[in-house]
């Protein structure tokens, strides 16, 4: 079981200003992104989300972690993973090119990061501070 921290005030706004997202809202967000939890259960305890069970691949599980974690009001996601995912928190001034240089040693691999974060990313230039991205290890 791993625990990943997210910036609670950053992310996709799905509820009112002082409200926290519910499991149903997060499940809808995952489904709206076209991700399949394959039977995994999403639970919410305050601002922490737990993702457990299901028959997802490591990549699918990492995308679900990011889909629920990059929501305003979520500060942490706990989930079982087979391997330790590599995530990167976007800071002010980051670009996918700069992130690829930092994490993969080559800025020209930015498209691998973009593709690894689809469907959460719709365009390589649409990243924001506080957002957490998957860094693919096979690229």
Band of pLDDT at residue 139, cut at 50, 70 and 90:
low
> What is the value of pTM for the model shown?
0.93
Percentages of the chain per state (helix, strand, coil), in multiples of 5: 30, 20, 50
What's the pLDDT at 119?
A: 96
CATH class of the structural domain 87-134:
alpha beta
What's the pLDDT at 137?
A: 87
Q: Are 51 and 40 a contacting pair, CB within 8 Å?
A: yes
Nearest to 131 by CA among 48, 12, 3, 23: 12
What's the pLDDT at 17?
A: 78
Place of tokens 């990167």: 88
Q: Are 87 and 99 a contacting pair, CB within 8 Å?
A: no
Task: Write out the residue limits of the CATH 3.10.350 domain(s) in the chain.
Answer: 87-134
Quick one: angle between helices 23-32 and 58-69, nearest 10?
120
In this predicted model, what pLDDT tens digit does every residue of 38-89 receive, in sequence order?
A: 999 999 999 999 999 999 999 999 999 999 999 999 999 999 988 899 999 9
Which carries the bigger pLDDT value, residue 134 or residue 82?
Answer: 134
């Amino acid at each position: 079981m791993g625990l990943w921290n997210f910036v609670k005030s950053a992310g996709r706004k799905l509820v009112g200003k002082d409200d926290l997202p519910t499991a149903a809202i997060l499940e809808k967000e995952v489904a709206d992104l076209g991700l399949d939890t394959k039977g995994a259960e999403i639970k919410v305890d305050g601002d922490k989300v737990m993702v457990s069970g299901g028959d997802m691949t490591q990549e699918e599980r990492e995308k679900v972690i990011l889909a629920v974690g990059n929501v305003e009001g979520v500060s942490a996601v706990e989930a079982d993973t087979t391997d330790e995912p590599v995530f990167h928190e976007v800071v002010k001034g980051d670009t996918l090119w700069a992130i690829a240089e930092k994490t993969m040693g080559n800025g020209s691999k930015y498209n691998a990061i973009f593709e690894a974060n689809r469907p959460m990313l719709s365009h390589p230039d649409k990243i924001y501070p506080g957002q957490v991205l998957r860094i693919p290890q096979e690229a």
